[in-house]
Structure formats: structure tokens, C-alpha cells
């Protein structure tokens, strides 16, 4: 079978030759490419998709379909950079780009004032960090925030989508990225802490913002839901019950997700939600939201929801995850044997192994030795047979 056939069979709950092996190595690849530490076998690979093909993995890409493109009616956007880029390379990260330096400063001009935001790339961690959020002062900046959300329309870059599908070919498919939930949008705007205070102290205004964002998200979905050869749509959140409490998830996520699921399911396609941490408290709400998959599920100790419990929640739920960071980063002499045992136990816990994609728990650590990725692959092929 091709990688694409294997993934589509898993999504539909159909039996194929084996469980798809879909590690999310985009950050791992970009950090090691940037630092000149890619293994010899991947030297010269132009991107993570090419690296996955060399590894013999299926490609399940969140990063090759492009991002929603904002257009403004009255707002204006400007960006400046500081800091030197080592090796003269452009930095590629999940959330933004650093084409001019390691510090990115964005500015939005609205009729109600300016909003500013700063990212800083940490070479040590291989990740960007927000050192300044857009929304610092509720009363002073609320009019500008509201206007910005209402002023923004979102477009799809169909050429980028087509190029991504062509790059992947028959080795897999895209996870097409949608706008985040209103709750995640609040986190992006104000940070998780301030967003929580704002929702508690200014409930009426925050509900109004949520309604504006939800409408924009649904309008964008209408533009992309019928894209040919795109089967999986993902709401670009970082779900963790530490900041996605059940009450907030029910109020600020479930309504939009249910509407999106109705549109997507009517086309025979799938709705995913990205996860980053603790999920058990939210598990019943995933079914209420009509989700097909909580992608990147982290198991204990980093998460609190084992894969077999997700499988037990509903036979309809697609389970995607399992390659946890502690196992990714194993360095001891017996790492290979420990990886093999871990994968064997994981697959044994999944029953008939249908609707299961064995992939990274949120991400692949840049510190993961390449031999461990190959070890995961060999074990997944061995214990993931379905026929």
C-alpha cells in the first residue's frame, strides 16, 4: 500500500497492511538543519517531507499546506527584526518565521491605536518564545483588539496547498490547518494568564470577541472545506486542561467545533484538534464537540490520558500519538531494547489497532537521536501489522 492509502484507511477504520508510522519531525528537522547536525543519511534533504520519505515513514504533514492568509480593510501590519541569524539561514518554526533576525517585532495599526508583539528565538531550545503579547491592558487595548478581529478576513493560498500535496505525493497527506478556537485566540492575544483573568473579569466583552472570531473561522472553513485531496482539517490549538478548563472548553471551544464538524463531516472528511498536555478532564467534551481525533496525544508522565483510554472512550475516535518525549530522547546503551518494548506494549494496548496512527506526542524533541527514530519505525512495522 502507499502511505496515503494506509493513512486514509486508518482514518476510516478500515483494515490495511499495518498501522501508519507518522512522526512529526518538522521542528526536529529544522533545528538540526539550522545547527548543521542532521545525520549523514539526511544530509542534503531539502525539508522534513523528504527526510520522512528517506526514513520510510508515512507523511502526515501540518506544515505543507500553508497558513491562513490575513487581509485587512483598515488595519496595517509591519514587522522588524533584530539579532543575527547563525549561518545566514532563515529560521522556520511552527508559529512564525525569522527571516531577518532572531527577534521578531510585529506591529498592528488600528483606528483605535497600535498593538505590538515580540517573538524571540532560542537556539538552545530550538523554539520561539513570546516575550511580549499583543494584549497587555484590557481597557486600553480592547477597542483595538476588537477592531482588529473584525477587520481581518482570511484567505487560502491554493498554490501552496497544491505544492504541498505534490511534495507529499502518494507517501501521505496533509493535515490542513484552520484558525484556532476562540479560547486559543485569546491565549495568542493576551497570553494564557491574562486571558484567564480577562475571561473571568470581563465575561460579556470576551464572549463578544469569541463570537467575532468564530464567525471568521467558519467563513474561512467554507472557503477551504471542499479543497480536493484534503481530507483532514485541524483546529490549531494547544489543548491542555491546565488552561483549557472544562468550563472554558465548553463555552469557548465546543460551539465552534460542533459547527465545523457538521460542515466537514458532510463532505466525508475529518476534524482534528491539536493537543499538547493533560486531556483526561476534557475527554467527554471531545465527543460533545464531535471531534474525530485529538492529534498529538501525550501519554503520562507529560500527559495524563493513556492511548488505550482514548481508544476506550469511543471506537469512532481516531487515536494519533504515542511517541513520547522520554522515549524519544533515550540515550542509554539499552535504548534500542527499551524502545522496542515500549512500542510493543503500546500497540498491544490498542486492541485491534484500527483508527490508530502511531506518531509523535505533540512533537519530536530536537534532542532525539536519529537511531531512535529508526528504532520507532522498525518496531512500528513489526508490532503494527494488521493483515
Which pLDDT score is estimated for 89? 65
CATH number of 3-68+156-383: 3.20.20.210
Question: 359 forms bridges with which residues in the sheet?
Answer: 22, 322
Which pLDDT score is estimated for 147? 98
Cell numbers linked to 79: 514587522
> Residue 341 and residue 200: Cα distance in Å, rounded?
46
Which pLDDT score is estimated for 88? 61
Cell numbers linked to 69: 492568509
Q: What is the pTM of this model?
A: 0.96
- The structural domains of the chain, with segments of one domain joined by +, span 3-68+156-383, 71-137
Question: Backbone phi, then psi, for 274, in 5-degree steps?
Answer: -80, 140
**191 Ramachandran zone, left/alpha/beta (phi>0; psi -120 to 50):** left
Which pLDDT score is estimated for 383? 98
Helix (H) or strand (E) holding 194, with range, is helix 192-201
What's the pLDDT tens digit per position in 256-277? 999 999 999 999 999 999 998 9
Cell numbers linked to 66: 500553508
Apex 245 CA angle, 106 and 318, nearest 5: 90
Cβ-Cβ contacts under 8 Å for 363 (sequence gap 6 or more): 24, 27, 28, 296
Q: To which residue does cell 542534503 refer?
A: 44
User: Do residues 297 and 361 touch, judged by C-beta distance below 8 A?
Assistant: yes
User: 96 falls in which pLDDT band (50, 70, 90)?
Assistant: confident
| Stretch 311-320: mean pLDDT | 96
Q: Reduce the DSSP state of residue 245 to 3 states and report it.
A: coil
The whole-chain average pLDDT of the chain stands at: 95
Strands 318-323 and 59-61: unpaired
> Residue 332 and residue 231: Cα distance in Å, rounded?
40
Q: To which residue does cell 486571558 refer?
A: 195
User: Do residues 69 and 78 touch, judged by C-beta distance below 8 A?
Assistant: no
Amino acid at each position: 500500500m502507499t502511505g496515503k492509502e494506509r493513512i486514509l484507511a486508518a482514518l476510516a477504520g478500515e483494515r490495511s497492511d499495518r498501522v501508519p508510522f507518522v512522526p512529526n519531525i518538522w521542528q526536529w528537522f529544522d533545528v538540526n538543519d539550522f545547527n548543521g547536525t542532521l545525520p549523514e543519511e539526511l544530509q542534503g534533504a531539502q525539508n522534513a517531507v523528504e527526510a520522512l520519505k528517506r526514513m520510510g515513514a508515512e507523511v502526515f504533514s501540518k506544515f505543507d499546506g500553508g497558513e491562513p492568509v490575513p487581509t485587512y480593510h483598515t488595519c496595517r501590519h509591519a514587522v522588524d527584526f533584530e539579532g543575527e541569524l547563525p549561518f545566514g539561514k532563515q529560521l522556520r518554526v511552527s508559529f512564525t518565521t525569522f527571516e531577518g533576525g532572531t527577534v521578531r517585532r510585529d506591529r498592528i495599526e488600528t483606528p483605535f491605536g497600535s498593538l505590538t508583539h515580540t517573538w524571540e528565538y532560542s537556539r538552545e531550545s530550538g523554539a520561539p518564545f513570546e516575550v511580549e503579547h499583543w494584549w497587555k491592558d484590557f481597557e486600553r487595548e480592547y477597542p483595538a483588539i476588537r477592531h482588529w478581529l473584525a477587520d481581518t478576513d482570511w484567505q487560502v493560498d491554493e498554490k501552496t496547498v497544491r505544492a504541498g500535496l505534490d511534495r507529499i505525493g502518494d507517501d501521505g497527506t496533509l493535515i490542513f490547518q484552520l484558525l484556532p478556537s476562540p479560547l486559543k485566540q485569546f491565549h495568542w492575544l493576551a497570553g494564557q494568564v491574562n486571558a484567564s483573568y480577562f475571561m473571568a473579569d470581563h465575561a460579556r466583552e470576551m464572549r463578544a470577541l469569541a463570537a467575532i472570531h468564530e464567525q471568521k473561522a467558519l467563513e474561512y472553513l467554507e472557503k477551504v472545506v471542499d479543497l480536493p485531496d484534503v481530507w483532514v482539517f485541524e483546529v490549531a490549538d494547544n489543548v491542555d486542561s491546565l488552561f483549557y478548563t472544562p468550563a472554558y472548553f465548553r463555552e469557548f471551544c465546543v460551539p465552534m467545533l460542533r459547527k465545523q464538524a457538521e460542515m466537514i463531516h458532510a463532505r466525508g472528511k475529518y476534524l482534528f484538534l491539536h493537543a499538547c498536555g493533560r486531556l483526561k478532564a476534557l475527554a467527554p467534551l471531545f465527543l460533545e464537540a464531535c471531534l474525530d481525533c485529538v492529534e498529538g496525544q501525550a501519554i503520562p508522565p507529560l500527559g495524563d490520558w493513556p492511548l488505550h483510554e482514548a481508544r476506550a472512550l469511543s471506537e469512532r475516535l481516531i487515536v494519533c500519538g504515542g511517541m513520547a518525549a522520554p522515549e524519544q530522547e533515550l540515550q542509554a546503551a539499552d535504548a534500542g531494547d527499551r524502545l522496542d518494548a515500549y512500542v510493543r506494549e503500546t500497540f498491544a494496548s490498542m486492541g485491534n489497532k484500527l483508527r490508530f496512527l502511531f506518531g509523535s506526542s505533540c512533537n519530536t524533541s530536537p534532542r532525539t537521536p536519529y537511531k531512535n527514530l529508526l528504532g520507532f519505525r522498525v518496531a512500528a512495522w513489526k508490532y503494527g501489522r494488521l493483515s
